[in-house]
Amino acid sequence: MKGQSILLHHQTHPVRAVFWEKNCLNLLDQTELPAEERYIQLNSTDQVIEAIKKLVVRGAPAIGIAGAYGSVVAALEAQRVVSSNQQSYFENKLKALEMARPTAVNLSWAITKMRSVFESSNKTFDTDLIENLLAEAERIHKEDIDSNLKMATLGGHLLGAGAVLTICNTGSLATGGVGTAYGMLAEGYKMGKVTLVFACETRPVLQGIRLTAWELNRARIPYRIICDNMAGTLMAREKITAVIAGADRISANGDVANKIGTYSLAVLAKAHNIPFYVVAPTSTFDLNLMSGADIPLEERDASEVLSVLQGKTPKFDIPVWNPAFDLTPNSLISAIICERGVINSPNRERIAETLKAK
Ligand code: MRU
């Protein structure tokens, strides 16, 4: 990864995973966590695309925000191209940004917003356009911070007393603010309800043990990491009051695409009579899709699964299937919490009703 890097030794709260400074997109490099807290500065769209693909920045809302700032980077780059090519240069970069990851709809949602700022301008790559694009990116970022806080409060009130289970990383690293599922459980902890957080390690990229552990440790919230295949036994043997997950895309009927392993947790939660909550802002809903069957589910490189061998490479090929996301049908979801309200037993009508309420 190109881009200047700065080592930060004493990180203070809150974590800023994505921000704009000195005409650059700044990212906390999540591939280095939890060992190193290293920020990188990106000033080319190709660097931003590479960072999104390599999970330097990840989590649906965070990649939406990074894509929005990435569009400003693209416009700044277009300024340096001969003027007759500026528009096509910019449009091609937006298309490439939009395709960097396929499942999280927040990315294309943010790029669509950025594109419409350009479409409603005089299409000249002047200071005004850059300022308007940056203002839109900052609005997207700010909206996410506000939504996170609303969802945390709404979700916190739903929780009973006891331990909760979560998956992947859905905190400040994955969003613009306090997080989605993480925000809810952290609020539950503040309210004195959540006594312990169990977090799945989240094979194969380990967002749970690397990133959620890092955030829970910083927040001093008591937690235990479990391997993903321990969830059933955990639910059978310990009192788990709720399973809480984020989302990368939610179809109009309330089916949820999220990190691989979420579906198994939802099935297990149903079998053990534990409420299964999904926390996601309205930017994660894709009302154009009638059901989850239409959501593109990203498949990633085999090397992510094989890295567990830590260089002990066998003398034969190990074929791998590595879907990064799975689909949880609405029938397994107790409620979806978004910034506009709590959607109990989500279905098409309840989602349409809540999303149209301002
Ligand atoms: O592959 P990742 O790390 O980008 O996957 C992230 C998730 O699946 C999160 O649960 C989801 O984006 C919601 S984060 C607020």
Q: Encode pLDDT of 118-161 as tens digits.
A: 999 999 999 999 999 999 999 999 999 999 999 999 999 999 99
Nearest residue by C-alpha to atom 10 in ligand 1: 246
Same domain, 222 and 342: yes
Per the structure, the count of domains in the chain is 2
Same domain, 184 and 122: no
Same domain, 238 and 105: no
Q: Is the CB of 247 under 6 A from ligand 1?
A: yes
Instruction: In whole angstroms, give the CA distance from residue 18 to residue 41.
Output: 10
Work out the mean pLDDT of the chain and round it to a whole number: 95
Q: Is the CB of 207 under 6 A from ligand 1?
A: yes
In this prediction, residue 13 carries a pLDDT of 56
Q: Output Rg (C-alpha) for the chain, integer angstroms.
A: 20
Same domain, 90 and 215: no
Same domain, 102 and 174: no
Same domain, 196 and 68: no
Active site residues: 248
Question: pLDDT digit string (tens) for 257-267?
Answer: 999 999 999 99
Among 123, 148, 173, where does a domain finish? 148
Handedness of CA 319, 324, 327, 333 (dihedral sign): positive
Q: Is the CB of 340 under 6 A from ligand 1?
A: no
Report the separation in Å between the CA atom of 207 and the middle of ligand 1, taken as the mean of its atom positions.
9
Report the separation in Å between the CA atom of 325 and the middle of ligand 1, taken as the mean of its atom positions.
9
Same domain, 138 and 48: yes
Same domain, 60 and 182: no
Q: Is the CB of 60 under 6 A from ligand 1?
A: yes
Report the separation in Å between the CA atom of 182 and the middle of ligand 1, taken as the mean of its atom positions.
11
In this prediction, residue 313 carries a pLDDT of 86
Handedness of CA 311, 4, 18, 35 (dihedral sign): positive
Same domain, 71 and 211: no
Same domain, 164 and 57: no
Among 89, 123, 148, where does a domain finish? 148
- What's the pTM? 0.95
Nearest residue by C-alpha to atom 8 in ligand 1: 259
- The boundaries of the domain holding residue 213 are 157-356
CATH of residue 9's domain is 1.20.120.420
Nearest residue by C-alpha to atom 15 in ligand 1: 170
Who contacts 48 (Cβ-Cβ below 8 Å, separation ≥6)? Answer: 25, 42, 66, 67, 69, 70, 73, 97, 100
